Amino acid sequence: MGKPKFSKKKYETPNHPWKEERIKAENELVAKYGLKNKREIWKAETALRNYRGQARGLLAKIGTDDPQTKKELQQLLSHLTRYNVLPLNSTLDDVLALNTEDILKRRLQTLTYLKGFATTPKHARQLINHGHIAIDGRSVNVPGYRVTKNEEKDISYALDSPMNDQAHPARPSGDFVSKIPAVPGEGEKTPSKPAPEKQKPKTKPTEKPKEEKPKKTSEDIKETKPEATKEKPVEEKPEKSDEKKQVPQKEEPKEEKEPKPIEDKKDQSSEKKQENKDEKTPKEKKESKQ
């Protein structure tokens, strides 16, 4: 026996802490059942591991006439039946077929949500922690409390809780349906509500497949280039009717000029020299006067 202050661990941690598949599965369970942390999953897995180990040990001894084996078998099956994990007249094979969710569904938090006392699993956890949920008139503030089959029908709001008022805003409406499927016990039938008719998805008109255009090769591109470079014909604008048409004038015949005789340059130069010789210089003029 250890110290009362340090109680024994009630769960075993995973062997390997970084397995992707296990982490994803645990995250889904935490979101689905509104759990605080993964320790609550490990507690359920540890309890399930103990049940399965005990069932395997009894299967090995079931052929013998040992009275202790029969006693342990009856105790195991009655224990699981009392907590409504298994129905009546179950066998050891049913014990080996259990999973973690079968244990988590027997928590007070889950049953409070399934009974319609809360709108979400986390809302159920809050109501339990604040003392608004009672079992047979006794307030229970432990969300992980495992409810037996006989206590399940006695879950209700606490007598001194304001949630008893039907007009309370935090109380779920009458047409509320939980998302977690309930597991009824043997001989118990839950009232089945008519499932809402699913609307048929609107069918979109089928589109014709687009024809794929053949890709142009380098030869086709060369052939198309000269056509693109051709100049477009310029369109002639029609003449306006308001503009006056120009009348063509008759051209008068021009008089032909007679060509002047061209003298030779040599004759002209010789004549100039003779004129210069005939002219007297000013000195010669003075001498002639004297």
pLDDT of 152 reads 95
148-172 average pLDDT score: 93
Instruction: Give the angle 144-145-146 at the CA atoms, nearest 5°.
Output: 110
Q: Residue 2 domain-assigned?
A: no
The domain boundary, picked from 103, 121, 152, lies at 103
pLDDT of 93 reads 95
pLDDT band at 173 (very low <50, low <70, confident <90, very high): confident
Tell me how far apart the alpha carbons of residues 180 and 190 are, in angstroms, rounded to a whole number.
14
| Higher-scoring residue by pLDDT: 233, 288 | 288
Enclosing domain of residue 126: 108-164
pLDDT of 208 reads 58
Strand order in the sheet with 138-139: 138-139, 133-135, 155-157
Q: Residue 230 domain-assigned?
A: no
pLDDT of 251 reads 58
Beta bridge partners of 107: 146
pLDDT of 9 reads 85
Share of the chain above pLDDT 70, in %: 59
For residue 33, report the phi and psi dihedrals to the nearest 5 degrees: -100, 5
Share of the chain above pLDDT 90, in %: 52
pLDDT of 64 reads 85
Please indicate, yes or no, whether residues 76 and 129 belong to a single structural domain of this protein: no
How would you write 238-289 as a 3-class SS string? CCCCCCCCCCCCCCCCCCCCCCCCCCCHHHHHHHHHHHHHHCCCHHHHHHHH
pLDDT band at 96 (very low <50, low <70, confident <90, very high): very high
pLDDT of 187 reads 40
Please indicate, yes or no, whether residues 82 and 127 belong to a single structural domain of this protein: no
Residue 45 has pLDDT above 60, yes or no: yes
Q: What is the CATH number of the domain that holds 139?
A: 3.10.290.10
Please indicate, yes or no, whether residues 72 and 36 belong to a single structural domain of this protein: yes
Largest CA distance in the chain: 195
Average pLDDT, the chain: 78
Please indicate, yes or no, whether residues 157 and 95 belong to a single structural domain of this protein: no
Please indicate, yes or no, whether residues 33 and 76 belong to a single structural domain of this protein: yes
The domain boundary, picked from 51, 74, 103, lies at 103
Please indicate, yes or no, whether residues 60 and 119 belong to a single structural domain of this protein: no
pLDDT band at 194 (very low <50, low <70, confident <90, very high): very low
pLDDT of 39 reads 95
Domain count, the chain: 2
